[in-house]
A and B are shown apart, each in its own frame.
Chain A
């Protein structure tokens, strides 16, 4: 069964450094998402992406964050200058179409030192 894949599974970065989290969504899916889960808290929406542009972003998704779909398969989340509070699990998800469920990858654990 096709699945969403995320790399790396764990990323350790110094505060202030840039980090890029990578995702390969399911191939025939059209809608892409990033979520994050800080330890002990809910999974929370960051950004949605459709037709090569951001369709919605949360208040968390400030100027330090960006997303890109550089080719037909990858979907990336970049954090320009990481902060301690960016430490979390980051999940990528994709969806095929209307009233279709989102399918999630296994996440990247981001640890900021």
Chain B
């Protein structure tokens, strides 16, 4: 099942710089997208989401961009901090028609922010 793809298994950036995590999807029915952060031995923690009616959503240092024509979304973290080091999951759901909002996840990208 490759409906949500995160093609970079890892990313390393310097503290203070921008981190850009990418995600592609193939299912055109997806209309709600989320990013989760996961530390070892913890569950996924919700970061930010975007509905398909928008192309950008911002929350503090985190911004998600959605390009529906390319079926691509990205998460920007500015400025990156060492505490941001974690695995980041992209997830999507198809919410139209009374769907129950089940999430389809990507494999995750391990972000390392170096001091």
Contacts and interface: CB of A to CB of B under 8 A. Distances in A.
Interface string A90-113: 010101001101111111000000
Given A4-B43, A91-B44, A102 B105 contact: no
B69 interface: no
Contacts of B91: 43
Nearest to A98: B95
Contacts of A101: 34, 46, 49
Nearest to B31: A99
A43 B100 contact: no
Interface of B, secondary structure class, is: loop
B103 interface: yes
Q: Size range of the interface on B?
A: 20 to 34
A91 B43 contact: yes
B89 interface: yes
A35 interface: yes
Contacts of B107: 41-42
Interface string B24-48: 0000000010101000011111100
Contact of A35 (B41, B99, B100, B103): B103
Interface stretch (A12-20, A44-52, A72-80): A44-52
A64 interface: no
Interface of A: 4, 6, 31, 33, 35, 41-45, 48, 50, 55-56, 91, 93, 95, 98-99, 101-107
